[in-house]
Structure 1
Amino acid sequence: MVRTPLTPFERERGERLGALLRQARGERSMVQIAAAAGLSAETLRKIETGRAPTPAFFTVAALAGALGLSLDELVRLCAPVGEGVAGRLSA
């Protein structure tokens, strides 16, 4: 199966998600957070660096839980500046 290329918006959103997760992790190790979320450290590394910009919903939910973030908060913080959830849903 051939994967369609990511749009610039998808790449940017993945970079914002990665930066947010890195910031939320703080001083905790990547291994510690990945284990708490039931993921490999390499998967978390790829998400944090933007190499996996479109992780599965359950992966994001597990990371949010391990980091003490709500999914609503993640959606809000990953939105482009000046664009709310309603703007993305109507597009």
Structure 2
Amino acid sequence: MVRLPLTPEEIERGQRLGALLRRARGRRSMLETALDARVSPETLRKIESGRVATPAFPTIAAIADVLGLSLDTVWAEMSQPLAGAEPARPGRNTRERLVS
């Protein structure tokens, strides 16, 4: 499978997701959080650092559940407009990829 390069918007969304998860995790260890969410610590580290900008939905859902975050909160954080970007115009195709 060939992956298309990530857009700047996808990269920024991934960074916002990572920051949200780090804040929500607080002082809890990355290892404990990852094991409770049934993901590898390496996966969690990559998501929190923004290296995986478009993680799979079940992965996000599992981590959010362990951290007590609602998916609405996660989506609101990820879908904020880019700093300095124009808002989407009505009728424009504004499909967003949550996972690849």
Please classify the TM superposition score into its range, dividing by the shorter chain length.
0.7 to 0.9
TM-score (normalised: structure 2): 0.80
Residues paired across the two proteins, number: 87
Structure-to-structure mapping, 1:5-84, within 5 angstroms: 5-81=5-81
2: CA distance between counterparts of 1:34 and 1:15? 18
Displacement of 1:47 in angstroms is 0.2
Q: Which runs of structure 1 show a deviation greater than 3 angstroms over 4 or more consecutive aligned residues?
A: none
Whose helix proportion is higher, 1 or 2? Answer: 1
1: CA distance between counterparts of 2:10 and 2:81? 14
1: CA distance between counterparts of 2:5 and 2:27? 34
Displacement of 1:81 in angstroms is 4.3
Aligned to 2:97: none
Consecutive unaligned residues of structure 1, counting only runs of 5 or more, are none
TM-score (normalised: structure 1): 0.88
What percent identity do the matched residue pairs reach?
Answer: 59
